[in-house]
A and B are shown apart, each in its own frame.
Chain A
Amino acid sequence: MTTAAAPATVGLDAAPRSRSSGLWRDALRNILRQRNARVGLSILTILVLSAIFADVLSPYDPDKTLLGAEKRLAPPCVHLLGCAAAKPEHPFGLDANGRDEFSRVLHGARISLQVGFITVGFAIVLGMLLGLVSGYAGGWTETLIMRVMDVLLVFPALLLAIAIVAALGPGLINAQLAIGIVAIPVYARVMRASVLTVRESDFVTASRALGESPFGLIFRRILPNALTPIIVAGTLGIAGAVLDIAALSFLGLGAQPPLAEWGSMIGQDRNYVFTAPHLIWFPGLALALTVFGFNLLGDGLRDALDPRLNR
């Protein structure tokens, strides 16, 4: 990341640049050395691929009610596993509206991944901005920002999100907004802590002495050095965001039917848990796998990128 910064003064940048590319290669090697990270990355790769190619991979339109040989709530049917060849093949069965559950679960990957990245991205951008400003400015600006963050942290995240969405009105956008707002303090705190540490270090003082503007100091010197904890917190944050948005959708506050979102699908079909459990199993498994993948990757990243843990 530091290589992206345009060199302001050649003498100062030449050395860190050659070293930093090695640093990132080291980091990548460290990440791949972690079993957790490898498993997490594999799961997420499969998920991302199925999200990208959902349209190609799904045998049916996820929103289309299938009429004909199929019956609604039909259990999974795979010919290779002994399902009668006369029946049409539906690996995950059909839902209450006669839609192909497999196609819906595949398309759900797209929504959950999108929603996770957008929500956490929103929280990271705002959180980093607030953390930077408060860490760099200090004084009453810092006090004000950090006290507001403290207040946000007092609320159990999901509960505050429920209250916000209940007020704003249900919908996927509002749910993302609510989960995003609730997540801001985490990144603001991490960012501020990093800024406070880096601000006093010698290379920042040196840059300042060489006449770098505050803007340049923040974005070229302080920000790149604070990125590691943000990346770790962000990866774990996506896991939490995916989980919380699915929970909001389950409660009817997030994604609205007929959108194929896992939480909303489970919420819609939860009364069929005894008669057609495949409607809970498959989206539930997909949801758990996604969260599992991000959690593993986040843990692996933390172990790989935090030099203090590598002693």
Chain B
Amino acid sequence: MTRYIIRRLLITIPVLFGVIVLVFIVGRLLPGDPCRILLGERATDAVCAEFNHRLGFDLPVLEQFAVYLGNLGHGDLGTSFRTSRPVATLLIERLPMTLELSLYALLFATTVGILLGVVSAYKRNSAVDVLTMAGANLGVSIPVFVLGLLLASLFALVLKGTPFALPPSGRLTAGISIVPLAVRWGMENDHGPLRAVVDFVSNMYSLNGLLSAQWDIFADAIRHLILPAVALGTIPLAIIARITRSSLVDVLGLDYIRTARAKGLGDRGVVRRHALPNAMLPLVTIVGLQVGGLLSGAVLTETIFVLPGVGLATYDAITSHDFAVIQGFTLVIAIGFLLINLLVDLSYGYLDPRIRPT
């Protein structure tokens, strides 16, 4: 097992390097003079020379890459062209919101998806199965931004005034203010890594409300996250339901299941104790792969529901040509995705002994 882990880690290193090289190359794709694009056509030569020098655009490409790599080494993801703030700071501020949204979307997708998949596999070719699978096919076909807008108009306009109405934008209802956990816990003078972690958690509003036992904030934050999480989670949900079904159908046809039935085990017992654990294996990979989709879907979801996460930051960066932010965000998400896939592979080796190389 140790050798498997080490080998898997070693494979990751060149890929990680490749990711950094690719993000760097994409950053240098800017056609023409980056200065004129970012500062406008009428920037003077002197201003441009200073600008290019400050950002290192006047160096040879390889040297630029070395500088980029060096900066990454100590956590410098570049500086926003527009706000002149470090991109890393911006991401740390905005990431909790996006993670919170993605977690709820993933929670929604896995629980409902697995449930629907199990029911369809169990009642194969029944009306429930046909409907679920047709729904799953439709679910993967609806663009996040269309579904988001439809949900918003349904729950905020059509159902307005009913108990089912949900807010279509923002993180909290106007008037509800949230106190950072650091302030609440008297950590204002602490500036160590613990404080950074507390600040990060504190920015996930539902978790903040939960940890400080402010149930009104918790409930309000959740209410604001339901529509975006459903919009974002629908495509992964459909994929998870399909994979669960096909995987479970495969497993249910195997000999050991027949044996279990022959022993007199009831249907529920067979599915829960014998079939599901084995059918879950492919699911780990699929759920891992969905995380990437969630993070890029967050750009669309946050834009629609006006949630100030990295997705909305990316949208703002797109509209203001703030390329450093897009580049930094892409790199962080790609590395995060790479690590998740690494974890998935490692867990696979753990869950399925046959995968481990001897």
Contact = CB atoms under 8 A, between A and B. Distances in A.
Contacts of B296: 156-159, 162
**Interface majority SS on A: helix, strand, loop or mixed?**
helix
Contacts of B288: none
B106 interface: no
B143 A168 contact: no
A292 B303 CA distance: 24
Contacts of B334: 154-156, 159-160
Give the residue among B19, B156, B296 with the most A Cβ atoms within 10 A: B296
Interface residues on B, range: 35 or more
B262 to A, nearest CB: 24
A156 B341 CA distance: 12
A263 B142 CA distance: 12
Contact of A252 (B15, B141, B319): B319
Interface in A245-302: 246-247, 250-253, 263, 266-267, 270, 273-274, 277, 280-281, 284, 287-289, 291-292, 295-296, 299
Contacts of A274: 153, 156-157
A266 B140 CA distance: 19
Interface string A157-181: 1111011101111000000000000
Given A147-B18, A167-B27, A169-B31, A156 B295 contact: yes
A245 to B, nearest CB: 11
B29 to A, nearest CB: 4
B312 to A, nearest CB: 11
A154 B338 contact: yes
Nearest to A240: B140
Interface stretch (B40-48, B144-152, B179-187, B200-208): B144-152
B292 A156 contact: yes
A150 interface: yes
A163 B26 contact: yes
Given A155-B337, A156-B292, A243-B143, A163 B18 contact: no
Interface residues on A, range: 35 or more
Contacts of B14: 147
A147 B15 CA distance: 7
Interface string B2-41: 0000000000001100110111001101110000000000
B337 A251 contact: no
Interface in B102-155: 137-138, 140-146, 149-150, 152-153
A83 B295 CA distance: 44
A168 B141 contact: no
A43 to B, nearest CB: 10
Nearest to B290: A156
Given A158-B293, A247-B300, A284-B146, 12 more contacts: A150-B15, A151-B18, A163-B23, A163-B26, A166-B317, A167-B27, A251-B300, A251-B315, A266-B145, A274-B157, A280-B149, A288-B143
Q: Which 7 A-B pairs have the closest CB atoms?
A: A151-B18, A284-B146, A156-B292, A292-B141, A158-B296, A167-B29, A159-B296
13 contacts: A148-B18, A151-B19, A155-B22, A162-B296, A166-B326, A168-B31, A246-B143, A266-B146, A270-B304, A277-B153, A277-B157, A280-B146, A280-B150
